[in-house]
Amino acid sequence: MRLDKFLCKSTDLNRAAATLCIELGEVSVNGCIVTEARFQVHENNSIVWQGERLVARPSRYIMLHKPLNTLSSNVDGDYPSLFHCIDIERAEDLHIVGRLDADTSGLVLLTDDGRWSFEIIRPDKQCPKTYRVMLRDPIATDVAEKFSAGIQLQNEAKLTAAATLKVINEREVLLTITEGRYHQVKRMFAAVGNRVNGLHRETIGDLQLDLAVGDWRFLTAKEVANFMAADLV
């Protein structure tokens, strides 16, 4: 982790104040002064500030049921930030693991553990995500086969990875994908001549949303560890 982030996780400093302390030469790593905020450190390093060896606070892992018309951002824009749903100290230290569009609801993960979030979003991990999709038109009978084989998205050369489609009724389906391309679900249905009217993420990996809209909870140790397994698919 970056040295400035370590200071934020082990003190009451914000990122700007931590960076200033580092640049002023107030922080040592294994007995050597370090003046670069981006310097990489590990929890087992001896990191000292103001004569005290620092110990990082435990990382936090959170599940949130994102409401519609909220932004996957820590600042407000055209819609309010989803961070308004979370009543927790130092919420600004959290980042979102796999964002959702403002018009999409459902499961969002938040953490201050960068290595853990990378394990979820890195492409070779192929972490499955399941979406409940409401469609404008009845689903065609050949769409499941097309999605399983991979389809061509507009302005992209590479076919989508195999995806699984389960039909609930003619205008409601469950789609499981293992990629995270830009607006992927909406573009996949556009590519087969349909339109997404509603989108809700139900699962990430084997973690299933179990909260009311706007609610959040900490993940269990087992739920956190499951994402570090070698394979999710």
Give me the mean pLDDT over the 160-184 stretch: 96
Residues 106 and 170 in one domain: yes
Residues 127 and 221 in one domain: yes
CB atoms within 10 A of CB 224: 18
List the single range of 26-30, 73-77, 126-130, 197-201 with lowest mean pLDDT. 73-77
- Non-local CB neighbours of 32 within 8 Å, separated by 6+ positions: none
Residues 22 and 132 in one domain: no
Which 3-state string (H, E, C) describes 135-200? ECCCCCCCHHHHHHHCCCCCCCCCCCCCCEEEEEECCEEEEEECCCCCCHHHHHHHHCCCCEEEEE
pLDDT > 90 fraction of the chain, expressed in percent and rounded: 84
The answer to whether position 231 is within a domain reads no
Residues 49 and 94 in one domain: no
Query: Is the pTM above the cut of 0.75?
Result: yes
The answer to whether position 137 is within a domain reads yes
Give me the mean pLDDT over the 156-174 stretch: 96
Work out the mean pLDDT of the chain and round it to a whole number.
Answer: 94
| CB 183 within 8 Å of CB 156 | no
Residues 195 and 81 in one domain: yes
Q: Round to whole Å and give the CA distance between 33 and 47.
A: 10
pLDDT of residue 93: 86
Domain count, the chain: 2
Residue with tokens 């739920």: 223
pLDDT of residue 52: 95
Q: Round to whole Å and give the CA distance between 149 and 8.
A: 46
Range of the domain at 45: 3-53
Residue with tokens 């959290």: 94
Residues 82 and 150 in one domain: yes
Residues 70 and 48 in one domain: no
- Give the model confidence (pLDDT) of 112-141 as tens digits: 998 899 989 988 888 999 999 999 999 999
Q: Any idea which residues carry the catalytic annotation?
A: 101
pLDDT of residue 231: 55
CATH number for the domain spanning 26: value is 3.10.290.10
Q: Round to whole Å and give the CA distance between 19 and 141.
A: 57
Q: How confident is the model at residue 35 (pLDDT cuts 50, 70, 90)?
A: very high
The answer to whether position 42 is within a domain reads yes
Residues 137 and 95 in one domain: yes
Report residue 170 as tokens: 């003619």
